[in-house]
Amino acid sequence: MAGTFVIAQGGGPTAVINQTVVGAALEIRKRHPGAKVLGSIHGVRGIRDGNYVDLSAIPEDRLRLIAATPSAALGSTRDKPDAAYCDLVLNGLKKAGADAFIYIGGNDTSGTQQILTDAAGGKMAFVHAPKTIDNDLEENDHTPGFMSAAEFVAGAFLSVDLDFRALPGIYVGIVMGRHAGFLTAASAAWQLDQDSGPHLVYVPERPFSAAGFIDDVRATLDRHKRCIVAVSEGVSTADGKALVESLVPPERLERDQHGNVKLSGSDLPAALERALAEGLPGKRARVDALGYMPRGYVGAISAVDAQEAFDAGAFAVTVADEGGGSVALQYDGKKTVLKKVPLKNVAGKTRHMPDDFMLPDVNRLSDAGMAYLKRLVPQKYKVGRPFV
């Protein structure tokens, strides 16, 4: 296939999504000399509006520098196209003379590609290349962006555990992840031993009880004299209500442009601090939302993550040449392998963290969960065990 390729980025930026853009752009140059490679500015919005940068005209050394830079160099979008919006995108692709469209992103991105595939009727190749720090795409063992974000989270919780050994108290870190707990679980990846924090890990896959939370913290304090807690922003109560909605008054809830409650915002840290102060009066407690920091931190870019993201972009060109589909990162028992899977297997679906990654009756990771994380996020820093 020669002609014109369009590449776009969707959803939240990561530390390695630019690797996927450049991996695809350079592979197109190699396979299809003379082909035009257009980078859409701000995702599908750029296609709708005809706003592109000509990636085929940019020197390779500059592209490789962009590849090693966090965030989304083309700009991203949170637009969730419906059928009417997708018609505008399809018309934009036709105006650009596109033969293939590679869209890098998560669940919503794959859903957009499925809609476009159905609408185009085989006249264009649509490829979804994976990207999400949530690690929640079906058909994937793990996703580009996750390992780098997990390194940040693992390092942050190792650091805060060392801090609270020196001056004991309660620390709660709120980690991104609306529906899947993989990134929150990564807080335990670099634990020194069973005495180390995080002592408690709360993920969306399990119902959250505020009363049970206070009891867990109290028991941990009795045992360890300190308590380090990792809480996913997406945890919800048994009735399905998000934690932030159960703790924060309705008038103080913040919402995004789609009407979704902002899980880590809306005074959630302050609300959790109040709950701890009321349930455990007199105890020193600090609650922080890690927020956006893990997803594109320049000091926590996993070399393996970067290479796999680049390779996923290159493989997306193969998938385009074969008519379209979704790129998946799978594990064959020894190494990561790239596979082409049908878009319908990924589009609009959420992969949850396996239940056996957590201990049955305790909010801690199991051996299976720790083994998975240690494979993807090996210990990066060697630290001495403190005397306290």
Query: Which residues participate in catalysis according to the annotation?
Result: 134
Strand order of the β-sheet with 200-202 is 200-202, 227-232, 170-175, 285-289
Q: How many CA atoms lie within 13 A of 61 on its CB side?
A: 0
Which of 185, 35, 201, 171 has the alpha carbon at shortest distance from 102?
Answer: 35
Strand partners, 231: 174, 202
SS3 253: coil
Edge to edge, what strands does the sheet with 125-130 contain? Answer: 52-54, 36-40, 4-9, 100-105, 125-130, 324-331, 336-341
Residues 6+ apart with CB under 8 A from 135: 142, 143, 146, 180, 182, 183, 351
- Locate all alpha helices (DSSP H) within the chain, ordered by sequence: 17-31, 44-49, 60-67, 83-95, 107-120, 146-166, 182-185, 210-224, 243-247, 268-279, 303-321, 367-376
Other beta carbons within 10 angstroms of residue 298's beta carbon come to: 11
- The residues pairing with 324 across neighbouring beta strands, listed in sequence order, are 126
Q: Are strands 52-54 and 36-40 parallel, antiparallel or unpaired?
A: antiparallel
Q: In one letter, which amino acid is 83? A: A
Query: How big is the CA angle at 109 (ends 50 and 236), to the nearest 5 degrees?
Result: 135
E strands in 238-365? 285-289, 324-331, 336-341
CA distance 176 to 133: 9
Show the tokens assigned to 296.
């594109």
Please tell me the distance from the alpha carbon of residue 133 to that of residue 150, in angstroms, as a whole number: 8
